[in-house]
Structure 1
Amino acid sequence: MYWSSWSEFLHMGGYGRYVWGSLAVMMVVIAAEIWQLRSRRRHME
């Protein structure tokens, strides 16, 4: 796809809220997983 401005890119044809929201949730889940793994590793030592 081609966008003519940054606002069109962020809006993504009306689906921007879902796309960026999903990306944010995914990043939070991955960060929580990494935090849990590090926490478990510290407790095992």
Structure 2
Amino acid sequence: MNDLSSYFAMGGHGIYVWSSYAVTAVVLVVLLAATLAGLRRRESELRRLEESHE
């Protein structure tokens, strides 16, 4: 268990390393959610425009 603790501590720099991983993961999830929301909006707008054109 001591080896695992020292691995996560990373010589005293673990808090910076793991927090940067966490921030990166959150940013990627937010970007994915924003992209999918934009895609759904544009698809619904396209369907609406196609229906009004017929």
| Pairing 1:22–2:20 present | yes
- Residue in 1 aligned with 2:10? 12
Q: Which runs of 4+ in 1 moved over 6 A?
A: none
CA RMSD of aligned residues (A): 1.0
Q: SS of 1:8's equivalent?
A: helix
Gaps of at least 5 residues in structure 1 are: none
Q: Identity across aligned pairs (percent)?
A: 36
Q: TM (normalized to structure 1)?
A: 0.90
Gaps of at least 5 residues in structure 2 are: 44-54
Q: Higher relative CO (CA 8 A, sep ≥ 6), structure 1 or 2?
A: 1
Aligned partners of 1:40 and 1:25: how far apart in 2? 22
Q: TM (normalized to structure 2)?
A: 0.75
Amino acid across the alignment from 1:40: G
Aligned length: 42
